[in-house]
Amino acid sequence: MVRLFSHYIPFSLLLRVLAEGLLLFLAIVAVTAWQAPDMTSDLRHVLIPALVFSVLMTSILSALGLYRAPGGSAFHHVVGRLLLAFLLGLPVAYVTFTFLPHHDTSVRILDLTICVGLGGILILRATAFLRGTDKAVFARRVMVIGTGRDAAELERTLSSPDFGGYSVICYYPVGNKEHVCVESERIVSDDISVMDAIRHHHIDEVVVAVKERRGGVLPLRELLDCKLHGVSVLDIATFYERVTGQVRLETLRASWLIYGEGFRQGAMRTLVKRVFDVVASLLLLIVTLPVMLMAMLAVLIESGFPILYRQERVGQRGDVFKVYKLRSMYTDAESDGKPRWASAGDDRITMVGRFIRKTRIDELPQILNVLKGDMSFVGPRPERPYFVDQLSSEIPFYSVRHSVKPGITGWAQVRYSYGSSIEDAMKKLQFDLYYVKNHTLFLDIVILFETIRVVLSGHGAR
């Protein structure tokens, strides 16, 4: 894992982005040198368009979800999205190549560049796929301190294709041995030291997964020796945060929140975020205004007024405000006065409503909430007061998400499907806590790219 602006990025993912960006960059340079060697006399005329083209193309690949965890997609799906990415990238390429001298020659260079770039990325992706994803090459060997439920859950999490790059090799027993939840064959004998076990199994990282740590349960001196010898030693909560992009509630302790890094608030951070919110909202308003007007007309034709509706939501510091949305349900959707979560196949949703919810068009009027200052462009989604009271009483640390402004989109929205239960709210809170702890302008931009992918795929909408 590489920590970039407080956000954790898998090293294999970063390497893939750099490799494919470099390939696209070199494709323009190589094809230009081959087809029009006289154009390379002044490299500035080639290098700048090549750099712009590679950055924009990798951005499109990211927006289409091609830089997500490799385990969840069949290769033919990857090929389809790559072809779509290059189709979307053609206008980008034509604009980029207008900056090249000898424009007539540039068109021929463009055709060859697209072929070379697409072919090269397909070869890279096919190689990774046939090799069995990046996990075999970049997997770090982990020893878990503890043999209980937390240790077993850690291995179940790492076995998911979404969280590749780590392999649990063995477990080191501590404390009460009656609650063993892992394979006994992989438990290291406690007759040897932690350092000897690390050397024997060639361990890269040690994760402490012990819930009860009082009474000298942990071999603290030995763990310190591990760290002094260059072996990474992590608390399970920190490990989950790094690998999964979540703050897991079952491993969370108040002391970890208080003394750990993150949860930074300050005047400069608030100013930067506000400027980003206003600029991004105005740009989105300009781009989507025709779409909103057509959606309003469709709502009016199908079910009449009101087209927009306002609903109470809980914002920063628990303040209640009115959120704006395009109406996607019938006007008598909650005639009994009792708030309910939307569910799959909800009969309260109109035909137009299903489409605008699927494409997230119904959320666009919230741009006004951002400009007013009630919301941010990126942040935890605001909930209704009725549900906030219910969830706060049943889920620990739920109120922490209200320490920042709610957003139109958020880390939980792009990483988890629509929630319609207490359990779903707990899962989404784990992502919200990660965002509150680590939010930066860089993470906001990452979430925006992920949002484009979610909107294009219709993932998680109801």
Domain final position from 130, 160, 179: 130
Same domain, yes or no: 69 and 27: yes
Residue at 254 is within a domain: no
pLDDT tens for the chain, 462 residues: list them.
677 767 777 777 788 888 888 888 888 777 777 766 665 555 666 777 778 878 888 887 777 767 765 444 556 666 777 777 777 777 767 776 666 555 555 556 666 777 777 778 877 777 765 555 445 455 788 999 999 889 999 988 888 766 767 889 999 998 765 578 899 899 998 788 999 999 999 999 999 998 777 767 788 899 999 989 889 999 999 999 888 888 988 888 777 777 777 777 778 888 999 999 999 999 999 999 999 999 999 999 988 888 998 999 999 999 999 999 998 888 766 666 667 766 666 778 889 888 988 888 999 999 999 999 999 999 999 999 999 999 999 998 899 999 999 999 999 988 887 666 788 889 999 999 999 998 888 899 889 888 887 777 666 555
Residue length, the chain? 462
Give me the pLDDT at residue 293, please.
94
CB 362 within 8 A of CB 408: no
Domain final position from 210, 244, 278: 244
Same domain, yes or no: 111 and 143: no
- Kind and range of the H or E run holding 312: strand 308-314
Residue 226 to residue 218: CA distance in whole angstroms: 13
Query: Which residue type occupies 6?
Result: S
Could you tell me the CATH number of the domain that includes residue 198? 3.40.50.720
Count of C-beta atoms within a 10 Å radius of residue 462: 17
Residue at 223 is within a domain: yes
Same domain, yes or no: 203 and 316: no
> Who contacts 258 (Cβ-Cβ below 8 Å, separation ≥6)?
none
The beta strand positions in 74-165, using DSSP E, are: 140-145
Residue at 395 is within a domain: yes
Encode 129-145: b = buried (16+ Cβ within 10 Å), e = exposed.
eeeebbbeeebeebbbb
Residue 82 to residue 62: CA distance in whole angstroms: 11
Same domain, yes or no: 200 and 285: no
Domain final position from 130, 152, 178: 130
Same domain, yes or no: 272 and 296: yes
Residue at 83 is within a domain: yes
Same domain, yes or no: 302 and 424: yes
Helices and strands in the chain, H and E counts: 17, 10
Same domain, yes or no: 295 and 396: yes
- Kind and range of the H or E run holding 196: helix 194-201
Residue at 418 is within a domain: yes
Same domain, yes or no: 83 and 180: no
CB 231 within 8 A of CB 202: no
Query: Which residue type occupies 68?
Result: R
Global pTM exceeds 0.85: no
Same domain, yes or no: 233 and 322: no
Same domain, yes or no: 188 and 292: no
Domain range for residue 40?
2-130
Residue at 260 is within a domain: no
Cα 235 to the chain's mean position, in Å? 22
CB 441 within 8 A of CB 276: yes
Residue at 261 is within a domain: no
Same domain, yes or no: 278 and 392: yes
- What domain count does the chain have? 3
- Kind and range of the H or E run holding 433: helix 422-438
Residue at 249 is within a domain: no
Same domain, yes or no: 293 and 413: yes
Give me the pLDDT at residue 71, please.
47
